[in-house]
Amino acid sequence: MKREIRVFAPATVANVACGFDILGFAIDQPGDEVIVRLIDKPGVYIVKISGDQGRLPLAAEKNTVSVSILALLKHLKSNQGFEIELMKRMPLGSGLGSSAASTVAGVFAANILLGNPLAKEELLPFATEGERIACGSAHADNAAPALLGGFVLIRSYQPLDVIQIATPKDLYCTVLHPQIEIRTEDARKILKKSILIKDAITQWGNIAGLIAGLMKSDYDLIRRSLQDVIIEPIRSILIPGFHEVKQAALASGALGCSISGSGPSLFALSSTREVASKAGDAMQAVMNSLNIASEIYISKINPVGPRILEN
């Protein structure tokens, strides 16, 4: 049996415009990596973190990766000890599910080293525990797609009820990551506690329309449904050039464009790679004009989630 394993887990786009806290999908790049190894004494130890500029805690009860592995061990009533090395390959506070990627990679790796006592989908509650540590809320719309791959609907939180949604064969995501940081915790604090029923009706229609559009491969329905009248108007204030970037993506032919998770990244969906790439160039040109450095990632929806890497 293996004593050490290296796992990659992908970045994710949460909310997907209209589905605050209930929709998310995985992309191919970027993502985080962990090395998890069995040790002969009990306890979970983070021995090394790279790529975080020294910002993430090493203490087991504070780090999202170890917290979720500790929760898994508690559930299994196991005393097995682990050492963890975490390689952050994506920026913190990017709106790309950075903490979920690390957490999912860790809990997925630990479960394999323990001999797969739980099925992949059963690991979700432990990964969402990590999210609670990261930003104070156990939202699952990054962790679920990072773990399961694909496009995911969180139909219910209590109990967790997660549905994988079929997507068109040709659906491309463009992510623009401006090199500024927004903490999810802060981006949640500025949201209103209540909403107008008329806005809720618009949002419900769009969520249902988006799901139906994805399942029917109806691009025009997807385009009509990628609208957020509740969260985007508030959070867009935090992102310089937001409206110009969105306009640039739509003018390039993207089906829609909105904030990825809690930002500052923006995502656009397109029906061809050419449009996704053209939208990326146009979105980045806006950031360049504002003198804000940025990265572009283009990928299809990642159907796999975490994967084992050869050492």
Within residues 136-195, the interface with ligand HSE by CB under 6 A covers 139, 141-142, 184, 187-188
Q: Which of these is catalytic: 64, 184, 232, 295?
A: 184
User: Considering the complex, what minimum distance in angstroms separates the CB of residue 100 from ligand HSE?
Assistant: 8
Q: Which two tokens stand for residue 169?
A: 């064969």
131 in active site: yes
Size (the chain), residues? 311
274 in active site: no
DSSP string, 241-290: THHHHHHHHHHTT-SEEEE-TTSS-EEEEESSHHHHHHHHHHHHHHHHHT
Chain centre distance of CA 70: 22
For ligand HSE, the closer CB: 92 or 245: 92
H or E segment to which residue 183 belongs? none
For ligand HSE, the closer CB: 150 or 264: 264
Q: How far apart are the first and last CA of the chain?
A: 15
**Is the alpha carbon torsion for 275, 277, 278, 284 positive or negative?**
positive
Residue from 7, 9, 14, 230 in contact with ligand HSE (CB under 6 A): 14
Measured distance CA(212)–CA(220) in Å, rounded: 11
Q: Which of these is catalytic: 33, 64, 128, 131?
A: 131
* 258 binding ligand HSE? (CB under 6 A): no
For ligand HSE, the closer CB: 95 or 213: 95
Strand 294-300, strand 307-309: pairing = unpaired
In this chain, which residue has its C-beta nearest to ligand HSE? 261
How many residues lie near ligand HSE (CB under 6 A)? Answer: 14
User: Considering the complex, what minimum distance in angstroms separates the CB of residue 293 from ligand HSE?
Assistant: 21
* 21 binding ligand HSE? (CB under 6 A): yes
Residue from 10, 30, 93, 97 in contact with ligand HSE (CB under 6 A): 97
Residue 253, classified by CB atoms within 10 Å of its CB into exposed (0-12), middle (13-18) or buried (19+), is middle
* 262 binding ligand HSE? (CB under 6 A): yes
Residues acting as catalytic residues: 131, 184
Contacts with ligand HSE, residue ranges (CB under 6 A):
14-15, 20-21, 95, 97, 139, 141-142, 184, 187-188, 261-262
